[in-house]
Amino acid sequence: MSDEKTMKLVTNLDRAAIEAKLREIGGDAAAAGLTEVAKMFVGVQGMPATQIEQRVNNAIKWLADKPEHARLAATLDLVGMNLKNLK
């Protein structure tokens, strides 16, 4: 039996929810010792959409070859799908 959890696909996150997810990702990254990723999401509140998008994309690329952090990468993918909702 697998211990993996299923992630619910949500594509209607607003700015506040996206920022909250990114703070959560930053905390999870810090807890996993991924300081570089954690730093990407410090101070995202109120940041221009293009900067948030760049940071999300950079983090996804950074995690691409790290399967041990697949859950974190999946959460970033979820946020990435919602970036169009940033206003």
**In the chain, domain spans:** 34-39+47-87
Per residue in 15-28, pLDDT (tens digit) is 999 999 999 999 99
Distances (CA, A) of 68 to 17, 32, 64, 72: 26, 10, 10, 9
Q: 28-68, pLDDT tens digit by residue?
A: 999 999 999 999 999 999 999 999 999 999 999 999 999 99
User: What would the mean pLDDT of 61-84 be, rounded to a whole number?
Assistant: 95
Question: What whole-number distance in Å separates Cα of residue 48 and Cα of residue 1?
Answer: 43
- Which pTM value belongs to this model? 0.86
Q: Is the pLDDT of residue 1 over 60?
A: no
